Chain A
Amino acid sequence: MAHDHDHPHEHDHRQGHNQPHRHPARPDQDDTITQWRAMEIAVRELLIDKGILSAEDVRRQVEEMDNRTPLQGARVVARAWTDPEYKKLLLSDGNAACEALGMEGGPYKLVVVENTEQVHNVIVCTLCSCYPRWLLGLPPDWYKSRNYRSRAINEPREVLREFATAVPDQVTVRVHDSTADMRYLVLPKRPAGTEGWSEEKLAALVTRDSMIGVAFAQNP
């Protein structure tokens, strides 16, 4: 309801609601049927009507998707930090390395890029939001923003500074644009002072952002 503010509010309670209101309620975004929402509903209902999927299948997939978290990726990284043979496998065949830990191999080929003293890797998908969801869960909103997608590619060092990630000038920055059928994971550098740590303890230092490459793994 349009609501002028140039009159006192006290008199305007004739319409059956008792709460004083100062501003019109903001419309709920989920009330807006955009073209893509209408398309999703139509396709989902057709698939269910035709018996190709059940509503339960859809619900379960959404739940599984929401339950994936960067903890999976952190396990992979922590194992690679403690087991040189595993690290070799991870860098040569990322999907097989996921399966070796009893996790899903993933629907896309996984390319793992290693941060070293000489090289710092950063992942972006300039076209949309490609992301190794089976290892990291859903991508953060900033990863899908036009700002990140355009600037990570042509001023990555400035973007890294904004993430409070100081990569020294002499270290090569490699940006990886996920434009087609590969998905990328950064293997961050193992923080100093973690010698002899267990995998579980190490995994707690491996953040989502460090596996995208916009941050380092946490220091102990």
Chain B
Amino acid sequence: MPMAAAEGISPRFRTGDRVAVRAAYPIGHVRTPYYIRGKHGVIERLCGAYGNPEELAYARPGLPKQPLYRVRFLQREVWAAYEGNPADTVDVEVFQHWLEPY
């Protein structure tokens, strides 16, 4: 997306790419929920580029902006005991620096 590129960080992923969420546990204001850390999902869409909340939370500029994605996970891969339809999903907004190719 031009929006992200203009800020210096190019999107690494495209819709449909498989990604892994980093299994990292830093201290501070982090928007990546625990329940998807270390899990695998698929890029649903690129949402644009947004200030990094891990910086913004401490009154820093949060720049360069980070590409933000919606990542789709299968519920049965996120929760071992999930009892619903095996096709059920959860979509989560995840910043690029939390994602790795998988």
Interface residues of A (CB under 8 A from B): 109, 111, 126-127, 153-157, 169-182
User: How many residues belonging to B are interface residues under a CB distance threshold of 8 Å?
Assistant: 26
CA distance A177 to B33 in the complex (A): 9
Residue of B nearest to A172 (CB): B87
Query: Given A153-B35, A179-B92, A182-B93, list of 9 further CB < 8 A pairs?
Result: A111-B47, A127-B33, A154-B35, A154-B75, A157-B83, A177-B33, A180-B47, A181-B68, A182-B70
Interface residues of B (CB under 8 A from A): 31-33, 35, 47-48, 50, 53, 68, 70, 75, 78-79, 82-85, 87-95
B85 touches A170 (CB 8 A): yes
The count of A-to-B residue pairs whose CB atoms sit within 8 angstroms is: 75
Q: Dominant SS at the A interface?
A: mixed
CA distance A127 to B5 in the complex (A): 29
Residues of A within 8 A of B50 (CB): 180-181
Residues of B within 8 A of A172 (CB): 85, 87-89
Query: How close is A124's CB to chain B, nearest CB, in angstroms?
Result: 9
Residues of B within 8 A of A175 (CB): 75, 88-91
